[in-house]
Structure 1
Amino acid sequence: MFLGYIHTFRAIAIYFIIAMHCIDVFQWENNKNLERILRISISNGTILFVFIAGYLFQHLSSRFQYKKYLFAKFRNVITPYFFISIPAIIVFTLILKRESVWQGFYDDPVWLQVLNFYLTGLHLAPFWFIPVITIYYLVSPALIQADKSSVFYYLLPILILVSCLVGRGGGQPLISFVHFLSVYSLGMFCSRYKMYLNDWLSKGFVIIIVFIFVILLWLCEYFFAKTTYTYFNFLQKIVLCFFVLGVLVRYGEKATHHYLNLVADTSFGIFFIHSYVLTAGKMLAHKFFGYLPSGTFQWYFLTTLITMLVCLGIVYAIKIILGPKSRMFVGS
């Protein structure tokens, strides 16, 4: 059965991804506090994406066939990742050097640099996610077996603790896999028990309580943490998943707008191309102004909206030109 509320959730998740990367379009020396507020509020949007992935994986698990599943993921995720990566990999192997790679990376021959970029996703800021989610695809039979036993979900508190202790990975897919395992499993849990959880999470007083917890965790990070991607932020985004889920289940179509459906339909395509759009924007800023503009909330909000609309337009243009084949090139 099609889950409309999860489809809308996709649009919200991709907005968090775009909004986070738009922060780096600006200089924030004159507005450090606003930058901190934005990063605490928007960062770690990947958690929403991983939660949705786990939710849908469990939702469709009754018709799971490993070979068909891997083929579908290879066609719809790995193949567009391969094609979309080509321009960036050419640039960062033959023209420029990527600062985010490890020491000695460029001492290797070019073919090995290319392989390492594909295996880590370090050639573009958001692409580290693809090698990580690929590990989930590969171990999917084990996750299917885990889902069949409710005992697995008793481990969720331990998995969440592990996520708080183990970092995001920084281009190391196996570490990132461990870090996000609790989120993926939590998505599976919410899907398996959706008949009970949806009714409970969508109650008005529960939505309010969950939102209060989001705010409390936000305040904890603001006042007690000195860096981003802390365990406060991790927990905040997990609780935010429950909040968004409750709101979307409760209000259904009232919480859904035609624009959100358009974004949701092309969310993976937007994910794949938005880094190129933002890079082009930075290059134009340097060409016309010689520097990145100073960050203000108004310009930040406008940039995020324009980036989303430009990406949406590009993906739909590609879909019109390529038809069904577009999914192999941009994921949508």
Structure 2
Amino acid sequence: MFITSFHYFRGFAILIIIAGHVHVGNSEVDFPIFTNLVSGSTALFVFISGYLFQHLQKGVFNYPLYLNKKLKYVILPYLICSTPAIINIAMTGNFHPLLGNVTTIEGSVINIFTGRHVTAYWYVPFAALLFISAPIIVKFSLLKHNMQLLILFTFSIIAIYAHRPIGGLNPFHSFIYYIPFYLFGIYAVVNRDSIEKIKKYNVIFLIITLLLAYIQIRLMGIIGSSHKDLFTFSGIDIMYLQKVSLLLFVMTSLDLIENKNVKPLSFFANISFSLYFIHGYVLILLARLSINDTLLNYGFNESGAMLIKFTLVVAISSLLSISIIKLLGKRSRYFIGS
């Protein structure tokens, strides 16, 4: 069954993710609460993936068929979209400093297996671990409600202390951090009645989300996502709690737009995965055109420059997505995921 409001949520999620990657000058420091709200929003994508994984399940889980689809529509587009960046970095030797002193081949292989070469590409190596783990993950939906809650709580505690990996370089670390969001997506499908019971608290979840974004900066002095080595202690990750609260707000509020016709969100939802693959390249292009300096030199303040840059990234990425889809038709899914 097609859920219109959840479709809109996909469109909203990709816009928030892109917003988290758009920076101008000291915008992160100057607008810390906004930065905290949009940073780490890939958690929304992970939740959506888990939700759709369960929502689209029909009958007995067919693992070979599932893997085949993921290879064609996720891994293959990732490899194709990665190729220009991998070649460019290999030719220039401009590997990320976190990779250390590596040879061209070593650096290229590390980039492919970590997604370090393009903004947000770390998601696919992590997602590959989700795909591999699917036969185990699918059993989560069959557990009793209390056991599901216990697993979610346990994995969440681990994630809160694990934080995100430095530079997104460790897919296994990302898996530890994000698997609760994926399972929460499955939980939301299986336990719709439980979500229904807490809908009256949607405004409270929104207030908690805003408060956590404020607390993260005012009391803990942290702006944006927290990254660390897996086995070092850095306290709890407030960002994790904030995104859980945001998801609770979204899930308890979706009914408000179920019967609405929100064409822009539907449009972005339809091309959300291609936007994910393409927007990193658009950011690189705009950086080479010195867009930040250009906007600031034209007299825009940081907030205005951020809005214009965000609009440019979304518009250019959308135009490229639509152009490729028009050119390749259904085959575009093999190239850009949409």
TM-score normalised by the chain length of structure 2: 0.89
Give the Cα separation in 2 of the matches to 1:211 and 1:290: 33
Instruction: Identify the residue that residue 264 of structure 2 maps to in structure 1.
Output: 259
Instruction: Identify the residue that residue 118 of structure 2 maps to in structure 1.
Output: 124
Aligned-pair CA distance for 1:289: 5.0
Q: 1:192 aligns with which of 179, 190, 193?
A: 190
Q: Is the 8 A contact 1:51 1:187 kept in 2?
A: yes
The within-5 A match list for 1:272-311 is 272-285=277-290, 289=294, 296-311=302-317
Instruction: Identify the residue that residue 248 of structure 1 maps to in structure 2.
Output: 254
Query: What count of residue pairs does the alignment treat as equivalent?
Result: 321
Counterpart amino acid of residue 319 in structure 1: I
Give the Cα separation in 1 of the matches to 2:28 and 2:186: 38
Structure 2 residue 69 is the aligned partner of structure 1 residue 72: yes
Q: Is the 8 A contact 1:282 1:292 kept in 2?
A: no
Q: 2:134 aligns with which of 137, 140, 165?
A: 140
Shift of the 243–32 alpha-carbon distance from structure 1 to 2, 3 Å rule, reads: closer
Counterpart amino acid of residue 251 in structure 1: I
Instruction: Identify the residue that residue 205 of structure 2 maps to in structure 1.
Output: 210
Shift of the 164–330 alpha-carbon distance from structure 1 to 2, 3 Å rule, reads: same
Note the residue ranges of structure 2 that are not aligned, 5 or more in a row.
227-236
Instruction: Identify the residue that residue 10 of structure 1 maps to in structure 2.
Output: 10
Q: 2:215 aligns with which of 202, 212, 220?
A: 220
Give the Cα separation in 2 of the matches to 1:266 and 1:43: 21
Instruction: Identify the residue that residue 177 of structure 1 maps to in structure 2.
Output: 175
Counterpart amino acid of residue 67 in structure 1: P
Aligned-pair CA distance for 1:317: 0.8
Q: Is the 8 A contact 1:5 1:245 kept in 2?
A: no
Alignment partner of 2:122: what SS? Answer: helix
Q: Is the 8 A contact 2:7 2:269 kept in 1?
A: yes
Counterpart amino acid of residue 105 in structure 2: W
Aligned-pair CA distance for 1:292: 9.0
Shift of the 260–284 alpha-carbon distance from structure 1 to 2, 3 Å rule, reads: same
Shift of the 229–217 alpha-carbon distance from structure 1 to 2, 3 Å rule, reads: same
Shift of the 286–265 alpha-carbon distance from structure 1 to 2, 3 Å rule, reads: closer
Runs of 4+ in 1 over 3 A off after TM superposition: 286-295
Q: Is the 8 A contact 2:25 2:302 kept in 1?
A: no
Counterpart amino acid of residue 243 in structure 2: K
Give the Cα separation in 1 of the matches to 2:52 and 2:292: 44
Deviations 1:56-90 (A, max 9, x none): 11212334210110010111100000000011001
Q: Is the 8 A contact 2:8 2:266 kept in 1?
A: yes
Q: 1:268 aligns with which of 266, 270, 273?
A: 273
Structure 2 residue 102 is the aligned partner of structure 1 residue 113: no
Q: Is the 8 A contact 1:22 1:304 kept in 2?
A: yes
Deviations 1:20-69 (A, max 9, x none): 1112xx211xx664242332121001110111111111212334210110
Give the Cα separation in 1 of the matches to 2:199 and 2:318: 30
Q: Is the 8 A contact 2:20 2:35 kept in 1?
A: yes
Instruction: Identify the residue that residue 101 of structure 1 maps to in structure 2.
Output: 98
Counterpart amino acid of residue 19 in structure 2: A
Identity percentage over the alignment?
27
Counterpart amino acid of residue 74 in structure 2: V
Counterpart amino acid of residue 262 in structure 2: H
Aligned-pair CA distance for 1:135: 0.3
Instruction: Identify the residue that residue 232 of structure 2 maps to in structure 1.
Output: none
Note the residue ranges of structure 1 that are not aligned, 5 or more in a row.
none
Structure 2 residue 173 is the aligned partner of structure 1 residue 168: no
Instruction: Identify the residue that residue 19 of structure 2 maps to in structure 1.
Output: 19
Q: Which has the higher helix share?
A: 1
TM-score normalised by the chain length of structure 1: 0.90
Give the Cα separation in 2 of the matches to 1:243 and 1:290: 35
Deviations 1:101-136 (A, max 9, x none): 3223x2x3x333322211111111210110001100
Aligned-pair CA distance for 1:248: 1.6
Counterpart amino acid of residue 155 in structure 1: I
